[in-house]
């Protein structure tokens, strides 16, 4: 069937669309099979037990019964703990590697981000070249936040754990990318495209589940890069509050 579809790609766009739909469905099926076999092998860095995914809290716009969580100041406490940086180098793909970060630190940059790291590619056992080249650090490269992208909570968590362990814990926080606008992010459904329909309950649940899973099973803070939701400041603020709650 694959050989037949491969030759039909040269025909009209309808056939091409059928081919890519079949390919994507197969890819999603294999991804579920792989994750179902490794889910019990991912051990929480906090509890030492196999990872379980908790349902995140979804705050509503008019929620009078809501009470502020006790950890409301955790984010600002973390900011103070790394020296309250004012000059920050943002993550840039194929730019903000170790050498560039060291150069920026010489010019009074106080906090640096790593380039965006693709969680699914980073965790592939046969792709050591990518994992060894995409992220490097040393004892002088602090404070440092590593940025990950992805749409599956277990894969993102697995990548974060591998990243922390392989670098002897020399990472101050993990940042989830919900802001990348590139076409490759659209194709892989990550980055800013996680926020495409975030006004609906399903997409809120998707992003918040990733954040909650990282928070529950890592020993370092979690941050999220987001963009303004289209033409809706109120729901952007609500979404930021939901991220904070979880």
Above 70 in pLDDT, residue 158? yes
Tell me how far apart the alpha carbons of residues 116 and 16 are, in angstroms, rounded to a whole number.
31
**What is the tens place of the pLDDT at every residue in 9-59?**
444 444 455 555 665 666 665 555 555 545 446 777 777 777 766 656 555
Amino acid 56: pLDDT: 61
Contact predicate 56/205, CB 8 Å: yes
Q: Which of 60-74, 144-158, 220-234 has the highest mean pLDDT?
A: 144-158
Amino acid 97: pLDDT: 94
* pLDDT confidence bin for 234, thresholds 50/70/90: confident
Sheet order of strands, 144-149 included: 88-89, 111-118, 144-149, 173-177, 222-225
Q: What is the mean pLDDT of the chain?
A: 79
Above 90 in pLDDT, residue 73? no
Tell me how far apart the alpha carbons of residues 240 and 97 are, in angstroms, rounded to a whole number.
28
**What is the tens place of the pLDDT at every residue in 97-109?**
999 999 999 999 9
pTM of the model: 0.75
Helix or strand holding residue 147 (H, E):
strand 144-149
Active site residues: 180
Above 80 in pLDDT, residue 112? yes
């Amino acid at each position: 069937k694959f050989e037949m579809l491969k030759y039909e790609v040269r025909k009209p766009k309808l056939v091409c669309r059928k081919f890519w739909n079949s390919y994507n469905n197969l890819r999603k099926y294999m991804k579920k099979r792989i994750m179902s076999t490794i889910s019990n092998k991912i051990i929480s860095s906090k509890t030492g037990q196999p990872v379980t995914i908790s349902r995140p809290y979804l705050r509503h716009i008019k929620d009078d019964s809501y009470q502020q969580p006790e950890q409301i100041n955790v984010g600002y406490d973390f900011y103070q703990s790394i020296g309250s940086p004012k000059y920050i180098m943002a993550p840039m793909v194929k730019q903000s590697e170790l050498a560039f970060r060291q150069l920026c630190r010489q010019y009074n940059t106080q906090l640096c981000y790593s380039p965006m790291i693709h969680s699914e590619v980073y965790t592939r056992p046969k792709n050591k070249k990518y994992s060894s080249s995409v992220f490097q650090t040393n004892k002088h490269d602090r404070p440092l936040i590593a940025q990950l992208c992805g749409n599956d909570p277990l894969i993102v968590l697995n990548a974060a754990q591998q990243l922390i362990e392989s670098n002897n814990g020399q990472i101050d926080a993990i940042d989830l990318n919900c802001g990348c606008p590139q076409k490759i992010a659209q194709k892989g459904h990550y980055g800013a495209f996680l926020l495409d329909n975030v006004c609906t309950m399903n997409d809120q649940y998707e992003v918040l589940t990733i954040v909650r899973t990282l928070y529950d099973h890592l020993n370092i803070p979690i941050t999220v890069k987001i963009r303004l939701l289209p033409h809706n400041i109120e729901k952007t603020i609500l979404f930021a509050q939901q991220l904070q709650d979880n």
